[in-house]
């Protein structure tokens, strides 16, 4: 068995090294950075002592508990979790806010109503969002608006970096964000939430849980409204006057209804319906006076059946989603309605083949179609996709993993994509290890890229990426808690990147023109200090990203070898949470480095730093509780723009309360 | 080796180095007292929604460039998408499409003298009598601006997207685009009403110029590419299409129709560079006259004072573009970096 393992490891390594060789030149830089950070890490951890734990003989795939849900980690790839405890402090925040707190992500915020991510130097369509593993990123424009998910809808968030999301689908070069909802009955009978904030912001929510261990249900209602009439300095006008935003009003409301049934000891069935409506202004840049608004509405059904075998779990998911966008442009006298429909069936089998081999088989059929005046006919996309993931532990010092996925999209057989990764070190409890991975991925063009009239290009090819990661992880238990440090260097090379450029008639047209190389480094460290009723959790995150355009359109193109627009080199977030009994205090500093806004890097937006604070207390009355929270975002009223000509809000103050009635 | 030989070799090496070095057009800042009419204004359209619109001022005699003159002169940015510049008396009307406005500047100093608002998506402005006619992408109307009050006094319904206009006598000829129902509409400049809307033309007429014989030339390009682009010759009196010249293949997307000062030679951009065509020539479209293979040829201007050509290359539309300057024989004189998306040129006569 041991010999077999060594042979498999040798084959794996040959495969893995072949891929890494392709990246050797670019990786050199990454390795240097990683080694440098390893040095820094070792310096940081020395005071805590190098107290390696005893290595056991039995391998268990690392699993993370999220309210009873188990998530299998791929080895060698980076995945982070935002658990329910962290989310509970952020019930009035947007998904974008929460992700920025916990990960190195820059969001292109067009005012307050629209946010799309720039992660690891990739663009918005190269990151995907999933709902319990089912893709919910738009099939038409290939992006997801991170302001449209109330955090109260979500029980945990899984953030898969790079190829870690291959287990769900293709196309996430940057990040795959999986919104996890629990499939077990909750302890609370009733939860009521209310908040009042600056700029005419009101948020209300009500959750009603009912049933028993056999049959249960949950009704979650929410309503949010904001005038967003914040003041800003209008640098587009003579004298830079202070003005009030008048075109940023935002409303969203919806209901999420869940029913669950424990059919037998081994079978669970859940049915979830989510109806969401968000009418809102489209904030124009301050150099324009256009009057535009949109109403996004969506209806989603999700049926999930899980059957537990002795050593595995089989899940079958059926998903239907209808996303409807009403777009009104009073300036252009335009009124348009776009409808997109998604049907998805996913089957996944996950388990342990042997105590040392874990597997995950996944297959899905996904059908998208869309209706709008801008298409000729009703374009559709059908994908048949299968994937297999295997993780093998040779011993407690060495582990490797392989994932491969094959798809047929609209009768087009796509190339097999894969990822191979390895962990080596003291793996027990993830104490100290080196990790490395190499893989490929592609991002198939969205329906708009292919069929939008005017400008869509049916001859577009899929964007293609080669991705490599290397890093170190260290976790040390100390007398009063624990300390963790993690550093990851990565290199993504993206070819055939799709861009829209103005054609001769002034209409934008889609082309496969760009070739981008991204080299970067992510560093994360945190400590948990527990002193009786007092807990202190400081965290520090830093990322460096160099996203370089490798090809020019012609010899005059000065964007060649320049940083891609809106990719900040430096992102830093430092935060600290202090809990004492029922009281918690939180403070964070987020730094976003300068971003070039022209492709020849001649113009840029300046860096900015924001300080956000919050404090809360929870009062218990019998089994029930009331919590109060005060939050101040942008404490120092910093004037900044994340995207050029879109001024962001100044100081925002919010008071919120949550009442929990328990069983 | 003697010292003299060493010095000669050094001198030769230096001379060779400097001979091979690309000459750079010096970038300077405009100063009070500069007269903008003495040079060429480069219309930098800017990126849509990016607020990078502006204009540069180029002095060909000195090969000297002043960048983003509007902002440096007036202290605030021009806005979003500078579509066109038109002269009205001693003012220049800067039509800023996505800022829904026209900025008025003194044509000599560049100083702002006013702003016309209340527009939807303005494209071009032409003057006739005491009025200025402003075409529009979205509103389905031509706005009539009173020259004195600088305010929109009236609108004329076109029921579609309007583009370039030409004035012949007391009539304003407007390119009006509705898919499958494109027209050259005629406005009576005395009553500011539609006088004739019967002249149907090929799809998407965007460019119109008047020649020395007061005939109109219109470029039509079928965006849907169901038919090759066409160049039309129109008699403005009879409203008849006198000639239609089809482009040889669908690869042509002609744009930026211009005419020389004497009014007998047409110029436009199309596949592979700048095309030139006499108004009396009746053969097929041939060319180009000046070859320039680029993905993004975007601007064309003919200097009325000497017939020099100016060509704008937008490169990737998100960076500073290039301008190429040729003499009237098509010989390259100069090239330099302008602003974002150099889409046209204004010659301050």
| Mean pLDDT over each residue of chain B, to the nearest integer | 90
**Of residues B76, B206, B223, nearest to A236 (C-beta):** B76
Q: Is the pLDDT of residue A207 over 50?
A: yes
Phi-psi region of A455 (alpha: psi -120 to 50; beta: other; left: phi over 0): left
- Chain A residues with beta carbon closer than 8 angstroms to that of B224: 454
Mean pLDDT lowest among A106-110, A284-288, A325-329? A106-110
B158-191 pLDDT, tens per residue? 999 999 999 999 999 999 999 889 999 999 999 9
User: In sequence order, which residues have a C-beta less than 8 Å from that of residue A532 and are 6 or more positions away?
Assistant: none
The rounded distance, in Å, linking the Cα atoms of B46 and B300 is 16
* Average pLDDT value for residue range A600-616: 95
User: In sequence order, which residues have a C-beta less than 8 Å from that of residue B7 and are 6 or more positions away?
Assistant: none
Mean pLDDT lowest among A60-64, A469-473, A623-627, B294-298? A60-64
pLDDT of A372 reads 87
C-alpha distance from residue B253 to each of A504, B84, B204 (Å): 6, 20, 11
- Identify the residue among A553, A562, A567 best suited for mutation to test binding to B, counting B beta carbons within 10 A and taking the highest: A553
| Mean pLDDT over each residue of chain A, to the nearest integer | 86
Bridge partners for A150 per DSSP: A94
Residue-by-residue DSSP string for B99-145? GTEEEEEETTT--EEEEE---SSEEEEEEETTEEEEEESSSSEEEEE
CB contact under 8 A, A288 and B80: yes
CB contact under 8 A, A332 and B137: yes
Q: Is the pLDDT of residue A68 over 60?
A: no
B287 touches chain A (CB under 8 A): no
pLDDT of A103 reads 77
- Chain A residues with beta carbon closer than 8 angstroms to that of B255: 504-505
User: Which secondary structure element, helix H or strand E, spans residue B175, and what is its range?
Assistant: strand B171-177
CB contact under 8 A, A290 and B98: yes
The answer to whether the beta carbons of residues B94 and B73 sit under 8 Å apart is no
The rounded distance, in Å, linking the Cα atoms of A222 and A203 is 8
- Identify the residue among B315, B332, B344 best suited for mutation to test binding to A, counting A beta carbons within 10 A and taking the highest: B315
ipTM of the complex model: 0.84
Q: Is the pLDDT of residue A57 over 80?
A: no
CB contact under 8 A, B319 and A599: yes
- Chain A residues with beta carbon closer than 8 angstroms to that of B77: 235-236, 287
Q: Is the pLDDT of residue A53 over 50?
A: no
Q: Which residues, numbered 30 to 49 in chain B, qualify as contacts with chain A under a Cβ-Cβ cut-off of 8 Å? A: 48-49
- Chain A residues with beta carbon closer than 8 angstroms to that of B112: 238
pLDDT-derived band at A500 (thresholds 50, 70, 90) equals confident
Nearest CA in chain B to A456: B224
- Chain B residues with beta carbon closer than 8 angstroms to that of A289: 99-101, 117
The rounded distance, in Å, linking the Cα atoms of A22 and A17 is 9
- The DSSP call for residue A167 is G
Q: Is the pLDDT of residue A640 over 70?
A: yes
The rounded distance, in Å, linking the Cα atoms of B143 and B132 is 8
The answer to whether the beta carbons of residues A154 and A189 sit under 8 Å apart is no
Collapsing DSSP states into helix, strand and coil, what is residue A385? strand
* Average pLDDT value for residue range A322-342: 91
* Average pLDDT value for residue range A119-145: 92
> What's the predicted TM-score (pTM) here?
0.85
Mean pLDDT lowest among A44-58, A192-206, A516-530, B223-237? A44-58
| A79-82 sheet: strands from edge to edge | A79-82, A156-161, A175-180, A128-131, A134-135
Q: Is the pLDDT of residue A62 over 50?
A: no
- The DSSP call for residue A528 is E
pLDDT of B4 reads 52
B139 touches chain A (CB under 8 A): yes
pLDDT of B111 reads 95
Nearest 5°: CA angle at A16, between A13 and A20? 130
Q: How far is A460 from chain B (nearest CA, A)?
A: 17
pLDDT of A48 reads 32
Q: Is the pLDDT of residue A76 over 80?
A: no
- What the block records as the tokens of B321 is 């573009």
User: Which secondary structure element, helix H or strand E, spans residue A5, and what is its range?
Assistant: helix A2-22
pLDDT-derived band at A552 (thresholds 50, 70, 90) equals confident
Bridge partners for A193 per DSSP: A205, A658
**Block residue for tokens 């409808």:** A339
The rounded distance, in Å, linking the Cα atoms of B69 and A391 is 63
**What percentage of chain B carries pLDDT values higher than 90?**
77
**Of residues A238, A289, A329, nearest to B100 (C-beta):** A289
Helix extents (H) in A178-316: none
The answer to whether the beta carbons of residues A296 and A317 sit under 8 Å apart is no
The answer to whether the beta carbons of residues A572 and A591 sit under 8 Å apart is yes
* Average pLDDT value for residue range A266-283: 95
pLDDT-derived band at B10 (thresholds 50, 70, 90) equals low
pLDDT of B224 reads 67
B296 touches chain A (CB under 8 A): yes
**Block residue for tokens 């320039």:** B292
Mean pLDDT lowest among A36-40, A107-111, A128-132, A317-321? A36-40
Q: How far is A414 from chain B (nearest CA, A)?
A: 30
CB contact under 8 A, B322 and A556: yes
Q: Is the pLDDT of residue A55 over 70?
A: no
C-alpha dihedral sign at A641, A645, A649, A651: positive
- Chain B residues with beta carbon closer than 8 angstroms to that of A239: 75-76
B134-145 pLDDT, tens per residue? 999 988 999 999
Task: Quickly count: other Cβ atoms within 10 Å of residue A422's Cβ.
Answer: 22
Collapsing DSSP states into helix, strand and coil, what is residue B337? strand
Cα–Cα nearest to A192, from A208, A177, A180, A215: A208
B57-109 pLDDT, tens per residue? 999 999 999 999 999 999 999 999 999 999 999 999 999 999 999 999 999 99
- Identify the residue among A123, A241, A287 best suited for mutation to test binding to B, counting B beta carbons within 10 A and taking the highest: A287
pLDDT-derived band at B30 (thresholds 50, 70, 90) equals confident
CA Rg value for chain B: 22
Bridge partners for A355 per DSSP: none
Q: At what angle do helices A2-22 and A24-45 cross, to 10 degrees?
A: 120
Question: What values do phi and psi take at A111, rounded to 5?
Answer: 75, -145
- Chain A residues with beta carbon closer than 8 angstroms to that of B340: 598
Q: Is the pLDDT of residue A75 over 80?
A: no
CB contact under 8 A, A553 and B316: yes
pLDDT-derived band at A610 (thresholds 50, 70, 90) equals very high
**What percentage of chain A carries pLDDT values higher than 90?**
64
Q: How far is B4 from chain A (nearest CA, A)?
A: 41
**Block residue for tokens 């920025």:** A100
- What the block records as the tokens of A624 is 């029930």
Question: What values do phi and psi take at A639, rounded to 5?
Answer: -90, 120
What residues in chain A have their Cβ under 8 A from chain B's Cβ atoms? 235-240, 285-290, 329, 331-334, 454, 499, 501-505, 507, 552-554, 556-559, 565, 597-600, 602-603, 644-645
pLDDT of B3 reads 52
């Amino acid at each position: 068995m041991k010999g077999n393992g060594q042979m498999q490891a040798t084959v794996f390594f040959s495969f893995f090294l072949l891929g890494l060789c392709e990246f050797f030149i670019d990786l050199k830089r990454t390795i240097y950075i990683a080694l440098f950070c390893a040095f820094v890490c070792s310096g940081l951890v020395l005071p805590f002592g190098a107290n390696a734990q005893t290595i056991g003989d039995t391998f268990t795939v690392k699993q993370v508990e999220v309210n009873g849900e188990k998530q299998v980690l791929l080895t060698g790839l980076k995945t982070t979790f935002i658990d329910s405890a962290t989310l509970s402090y952020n019930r009035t925040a947007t998904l974008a806010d929460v992700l920025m707190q916990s990960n190195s992500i820059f969001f292109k915020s067009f005012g307050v109503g629209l946010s799309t991510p720039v992660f690891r130097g990739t663009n918005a369509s190269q990151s995907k969002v999933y709902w319990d593993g089912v893709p919910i990123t738009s099939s038409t424009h290939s992006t997801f608006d991170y302001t449209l998910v109330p955090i109260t809808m979500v029980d945990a968030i899984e953030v898969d970096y790079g190829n870690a999301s291959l287990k769900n689908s293709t196309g996430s070069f940057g990040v795959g964000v999986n919104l996890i909802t629990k499939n077990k009955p909750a302890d609370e009978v009733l939860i009521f939430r209310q908040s009042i904030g600056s700029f005419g912001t009101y948020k209300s929510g009500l959750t009603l849980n009912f049933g028993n261990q056999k049959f249960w249900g949950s009704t979650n209602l929410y309503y949010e409204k904001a005038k967003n009439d914040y003041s800003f300095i209008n640098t587009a006008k003579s004298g830079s006057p202070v003005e009030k935003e008048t075109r940023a009003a935002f409303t969203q409301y919806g209901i999420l209804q869940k029913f669950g049934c424990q059919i037998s000891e081994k079978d669970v069935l859940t049915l979830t319906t989510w109806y969401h409506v968000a009418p809102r202004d489209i904030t124009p840049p301050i150099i324009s006076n256009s009057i535009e608004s949109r109403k996004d509405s969506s209806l989603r059904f999700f049926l999930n059946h899980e059957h537990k075998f002795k050593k595995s779990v089989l899940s079958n998911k059926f998903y239907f989603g209808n996303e409807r966008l009403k777009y009104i442009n009073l300036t252009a006298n335009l009124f348009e309605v776009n409808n997109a429909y998604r049907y998805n069936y996913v089957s996944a089998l996950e388990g342990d083949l042997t105590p040392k081999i874990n597997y995950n088989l996944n297959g899905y059929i996904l059908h998208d179609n869309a209706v709008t005046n801008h298409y000729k006919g009703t374009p559709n996309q059908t994908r048949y996709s299968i994937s297999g993931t295997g993780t093998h532990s040779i011993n407690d010092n060495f582990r490797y993993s392989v994932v491969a996925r094959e798809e047929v999209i609209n009768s087009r057989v796509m190339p097999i994509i894969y990822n191979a990764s390895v962990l080596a070190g003291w793996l027990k409890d993830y104490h100290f290890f080196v990790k490395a991975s190499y893989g490929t991925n592609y991002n198939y063009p969205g329906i708009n890229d292919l069929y939008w009239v005017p400008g869509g290009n049916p001859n577009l090819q899929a964007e293609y990426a080669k991705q490599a990661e290397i890093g170190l992880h260290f976790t040390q238990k100390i007398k009063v808690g624990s300390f963790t440090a993690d550093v990851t260097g990565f290199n993504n090379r993206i070819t055939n990147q799709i861009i829209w450029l103005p054609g001769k008639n002034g209409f934008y047209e889609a082309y496969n023109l760009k070739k981008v190389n991204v080299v970067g480094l992510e560093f994360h460290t945190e400590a948990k200090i527990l002193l009786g009723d007092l807990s202190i959790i400081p965290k520090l995150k830093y990322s460096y990203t160099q996203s370089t355009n490798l090809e020019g359109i012609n010899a005059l193109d000065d964007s060649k070898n320049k940083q891609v627009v809106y990719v900040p080199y430096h992102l830093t977030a430092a935060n600290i949470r202090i809990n004492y009994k029922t009281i918690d205090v939180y403070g964070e500093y987020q730094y976003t480095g300068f971003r070039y806004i022209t492709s020849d890097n001649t113009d840029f937006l300046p860096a900015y730093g924001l300080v956000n604070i919050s404090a809360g207390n929870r009062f218990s009355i019998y089994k029930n509780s009331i919590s109060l929270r005060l939050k101040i975002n942008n404490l120092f009223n910093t004037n900044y723009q994340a995207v050029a000509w879109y001024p962001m809000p100044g100081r925002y103050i919010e008071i919120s309360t949550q009442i929990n009635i328990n069983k | 080796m003697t010292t003299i030989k060493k010095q000669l070799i050094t001198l030769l090496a230096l001379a060779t180095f400097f001979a091979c070095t690309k000459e750079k057009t010096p970038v300077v800042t405009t100063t009070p007292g500069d007269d903008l009419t003495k040079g060429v204004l480069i219309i930098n359209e800017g990126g849509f929604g990016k607020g990078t619109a502006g204009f540069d001022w180029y002095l060909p005699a000195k090969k000297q460039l002043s960048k983003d003159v509007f902002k440096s002169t007036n202290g605030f940015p021009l806005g979003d998408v500078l579509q066109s510049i038109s002269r009205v008396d001693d003012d220049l009307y800067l039509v800023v499409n996505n800022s829904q406005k026209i900025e008025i500047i003194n044509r000599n100093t560049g100083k702002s003298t006013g702003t016309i608002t209340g527009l939807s998506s303005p494209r071009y402005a032409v003057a006739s009598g005491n009025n200025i006619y402003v075409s529009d992408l979205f509103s389905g109307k031509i706005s009539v601006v009173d020259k004195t009050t600088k305010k929109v006094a009236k609108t004329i319904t076109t029921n579609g997207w309007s583009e370039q206009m030409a004035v012949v006598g007391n009539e304003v000829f407007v390119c009006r685009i509705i898919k499958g129902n494109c027209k050259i509409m005629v406005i009576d400049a005395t009553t500011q009403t539609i006088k004739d809307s019967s002249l149907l033309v090929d799809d998407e007429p965007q460019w119109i110029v008047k020649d020395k014989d007061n005939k109109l030339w219109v470029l039509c390009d079928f965006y849907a590419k169901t038919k090759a682009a066409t160049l039309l010759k129109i008699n403005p009196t009879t409203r008849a299409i006198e000639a239609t010249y089809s482009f040889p293949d669908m690869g042509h997307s002609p744009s930026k129709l211009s005419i020389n000062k004497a009014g007998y030679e047409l110029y436009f951009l199309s596949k592979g560079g700048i095309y030139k065509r006499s108004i009396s020539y009746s053969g097929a479209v041939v060319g180009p006259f000046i070859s320039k293979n680029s993905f993004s040829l975007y601007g064309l201007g003919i200097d009325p004072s000497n017939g020099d050509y100016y060509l704008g290359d937008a490169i990737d539309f998100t960076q500073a573009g290039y301008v190429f300057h040729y003499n009237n024989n098509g010989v390259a004189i100069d090239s330099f970096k302008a602003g974002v998306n150099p889409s046209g040129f204004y010659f301050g006569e």
